[in-house]
Amino acid sequence: MLSRLPTIRVIRETCLFLAVLGILLALYSCSRVNTDWHRYSGRNFEIIGTDRNLVQVPTDGWRIISKADDQHKNEYEWGWELSIKTEDIPKEKKMDGKWELLLTIKEIQYILLDEDGFELAKDTVHDQSMFYGGQETFRHTSTIPKRKALRAAKSVYKVILL
């Protein structure tokens, strides 16, 4: 009977150690921010403007990049990219006898959402332009509080044309 006491004590201590280790690992993994790229193809969410039928978004994506600088310890930097492709110049795009070669983009909004579709962060780029018949990729970064970065799961965008 006396020889079994150290074995029971070792088993109990091992189980306690594993339980504490499991709890610590669970807490650590729950507070980690997913920094993988979330890339999408062919999602034409919302394109607004008279030339919207000439514009498509072949790819877009977002990711949490890293912690922000030391001044903003509870914030993360996040970035997005969105590719816009346009058709060739339509015949009706003449201004004062000249072809209007540029498509004017008033603003691009990229919005991060949680799993239920609630908005976590929005970033906006204003006053961009691109040639008709081409493709451009627009990229931008912003910051998001850590508590929101932990919940980021999906995104939507809005492109507003002039």
53 and 28 in a single domain? The answer is no
Residue 29: which pLDDT band, with cuts at 50, 70 and 90?
A: very low
Provide mean pLDDT across the span 111-119. Answer: 96
Please indicate, yes or no, whether residues 113 and 142 belong to a single structural domain of this protein. yes
Examine the domain organization and report whether 139 and 154 are in the same domain. Answer: yes
What is the mean predicted confidence (pLDDT) over 87-111? Answer: 78
The residue that leads in pLDDT, 17 or 57, is 57
The three-state secondary structure class of 133 is coil
Residue for token pair 């976590």:
120
20 with 94, same domain: the answer is no
Domain that residue 19 falls in:
1-32
Same domain, yes or no: 24 and 38: no
Residue 23 has pLDDT above 90, yes or no: no
40 band by pLDDT with thresholds 50, 70 and 90: very high
Residues 39 and 81 in one domain: yes
- Pair 89, 22 in one domain: no
* 15 and 43 together in one domain: no
User: Are residue 28 and residue 11 in the same domain, yes or no?
Assistant: yes
